């Protein structure tokens, strides 16, 4: 094999190896069998009138007054699921987050040692300028180690 042929072969081999590595990197392996589609984006309830079992136990449920006054504190409670999600050593909620619209407002990290349930309360104050239309959307997000990222929302009026 002459030098030119060797270099061409070596370059082609490198390209094949690089492609194979890229293809392998696209695969993800979990020690517990999971539905990988749940880890490809944010999961939400598809039809509120017909929630699936997974949606009932994973979609964050937000509770807050329907109407609040700008500049005055109020409570927003976020529970993970209509039926509270388990907090087991192998299956638990890692965090619960509150967003005011698209702005992160707070986050609670949870541990799977059995001390806490996946339900938190935040005390929130919304300034007048944050709700120019008189409404604001509260977003609750949570991450389950086996079922991915989930989001629920609640619109409230701000006067
Ligand atoms: Fe889960």
Q: Identify which of 95, 97, 90, 107 has the alpha carbon closest to the alpha carbon of residue 146.
A: 90
CA of 81 to the centre of ligand 1 (A): 10
Q: pLDDT value at position 30?
A: 73
User: Does position 1 have pLDDT exceeding 80, yes or no?
Assistant: no
**Cα 66 to Cα 157: distance, rounded to the nearest angstrom:** 6
- The pLDDT tens digits for 11-40 are 665 555 555 555 555 667 777 888 989 999
CA of 58 to the centre of ligand 1 (A): 6
Eight-class DSSP state of 31: S
16-26 burial: b if 16+ Cβ within 10 Å, else e: eeeeeeeeeee
- The pLDDT tens digits for 94-124 are 999 999 999 999 999 999 988 999 999 999 9
Q: pLDDT value at position 3?
A: 67
CA of 154 to the centre of ligand 1 (A): 22
CA of 111 to the centre of ligand 1 (A): 14
């Amino acid at each position: 094999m002459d030098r030119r042929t060797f270099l061409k072969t070596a370059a082609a081999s490198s390209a094949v190896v690089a492609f194979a590595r890229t293809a392998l990197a696209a695969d993800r392996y979990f020690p517990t069998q999971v539905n990988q589609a749940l880890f490809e984006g944010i999961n939400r309830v598809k039809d509120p009138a017909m929630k699936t079992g997974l949606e009932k136990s994973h979609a964050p449920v937000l509770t807050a007054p329907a109407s609040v006054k700008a500049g005055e504190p109020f409570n927003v409670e976020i529970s993970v699921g209509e039926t509270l999600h388990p907090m087991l050593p192998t299956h638990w909620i890692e965090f619960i987050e509150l967003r005011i619209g698209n702005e992160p407002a707070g986050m609670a990290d949870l541990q799977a040692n059995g001390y806490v349930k996946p339900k938190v309360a935040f005390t929130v104050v919304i300034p007048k300028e944050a709700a120019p239309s008189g409404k604001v959307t509260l977003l609750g997000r949570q991450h389950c180690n086996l079922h991915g990222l989930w989001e629920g929302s609640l619109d409230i009026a701000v006067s």
